[in-house]
A and B are shown apart, each in its own frame.
Chain A
């Protein structure tokens, strides 16, 4: 039964197959597939012009696909069901607030669009302003706000309708590290506690790696990889590496490291040494052997590939591929 539900996409917040969108002769999306489970924190990564904004617009029913096999959001088929989906979704994109309205008025206005009455809308607005540390500026026109404050307002506006699915476009752009950290914590908490699905597009790969349960890399209108950040990284970056960290003030002789099982080459970092290995199967034996060396170590562990490395490999490969085509 559960399998059947999964097949029909009922457990998915977003189910997309074969999505294509062209603008004249330019193909922005060339048949992409996405499956995002409810309660997931999904990151869509890609260079500028990769088709991220087009994807978000189509998933919100404000842009029609050129061709699609399945386009289902929160169980409703799009574009026909867009009016049913919009009340369940909150969107923060690179748009502006109403500068001549106060912070409270901006949020209360959108709360009213989501069906709250005047009193409830004002209360919801104040609740969100409090959450984002802006309650003391509630009566001020947002034209006087800093970039970071406006960014917080845009995110708060996306949350005003208590949505089941939230789209966030570069949410931490303009935020200070503390605010970024708080936002990421909030996303993690809400996705787990309330089963809210987050769909984030961002270039801050370190943040995406820590907050996302699933990512997809989009380049030239094609999904190059999709899965958990760790799975995408391992699939895209074939190298196997171990980090050996000696006690400060000591060093591990490089010849000793290269003599260990599977070691290919070594590279010195500021306080550690990275050793490339032949295969992932070599890692356990390498760690045991390194730990047995007659040196004082703080740690020996596999150095997994990062999302940033994977992104650069995938996007770079896409760039080279498109270069091949044009040449």
Chain B
């Protein structure tokens, strides 16, 4: 049985530690924020000030099916380019952000505790294996997904303020984006965290867990992120279906972690 109060205590401690580690958090937060703000601002500003440049994107735009762009009265070529640019091209980045954040936080949370020689003290407490795992995973999952949603909110404001006048309608977020952010991003984040936690139990330190976890996770996520533009062209239902596949993978991985988790195995990797 999992005692929520103990999980919450562990979670709160981990979150406090994470947010007080500036050298980990700053690059993780600053770079994605710069891209999240910089890309739509630069892209939409360019279309606004140089609509003729859209001619060069005609072939690219024609590659998208007609159903990919809603029937908005008076939609210009510039509006079509703006719509495709902000709705389809950048979606993959919103998967990369939580993956990056969760990989680092998860590696720091478990393997980092080994490195800082605090984990053994935790293993001696009455915390059950499940409480320990759930607390650690939640401590990585919540900030990663929360940060992705903050980025999404900022992106939405920029797109609505700068893109709506070009497209001629308040079109963002689309149903696909809601599916992406509410379903796929959390499901993929949990998948990544589970893999990193699995690796972290055997790694000796943060760097090792981050490197091994990253090398397993990033190629998988790279493929998924590359396909997201294509997914976004399809319906929100398809994104939801892909999310369900990840949720099933998450469930399998979590089960594997709980079954494989042995304090004795972790302790045998301690100095």
Contacts and interface: CB of A to CB of B under 8 A. Distances in A.
Given A64-B264, A95-B117, A113 B125 contact: yes
Given A101-B16, A117-B5, A93 B126 contact: no
Nearest to A98: B118
A95 B126 contact: no
A62 B123 contact: yes
Nearest to B266: A62
B20 A89 contact: no
Interface string B1-32: 00101100110010011001100000000000
Contacts of B6: 112-113, 115
A99 B115 CA distance: 13
Given A62-B267, A109-B13, A97 B118 contact: yes
A57 B123 CA distance: 10
A115 B8 CA distance: 12
Nearest to A114: B126
B5 to A, nearest CB: 7
B55 interface: no
Nearest to A84: B126
A20 interface: no
A65 to B, nearest CB: 9
A109 B267 contact: no
Given A87-B126, A101-B16, A63 B116 contact: no
B6, B13, B17, B118 interface centre (most CB from chain A within 10 Å): B13
A161 B6 CA distance: 14
Say what secondary structure dominates the interface of chain A. loop
B121 interface: yes
Interface in A49-67: 57, 60-64
Interface in B124-162: 124-128
Contacts of B123: 62
A: contact size bracket: 20 to 34
Contact of B13 (A63, A79, A98): A98
B: contact size bracket: 20 to 34
A157 interface: yes
Contact of A109 (B3, B9, B263): B9
Given A61-B263, A161-B126, A112 B5 contact: yes
A61 B116 CA distance: 22
A91 B124 contact: yes
Nearest to B124: A91
A90 B124 CA distance: 8
A63 B264 contact: yes
B52 interface: no
Nearest to B122: A113
Contacts of B9: 109, 112-113
A132 to B, nearest CB: 17
B17 A96 contact: no
Interface in A70-105: 79, 82-83, 86-87, 89, 91, 93-101, 105
Contacts of A101: 13, 16-17
Nearest to A85: B126
A101 B124 CA distance: 19
Contacts of A109: 9, 13
B263 A62 contact: yes
Contacts of B3: 115
A93 B120 CA distance: 8
Interface of A: 23, 57, 60-64, 79, 82-83, 86-87, 89, 91, 93-101, 105, 109-110, 112-115, 117, 157, 161
The 5 closest A-B pairs by CB, nearest first: A112-B9, A91-B124, A113-B125, A87-B126, A62-B263
Interface of B: 3, 5-6, 9-10, 13, 16-17, 20-21, 116-121, 123-128, 262-264, 266-268
Given A95-B120, A114-B126, 10 more contacts: A62-B267, A64-B264, A87-B126, A95-B119, A100-B16, A100-B20, A110-B125, A113-B9, A113-B126, A117-B5
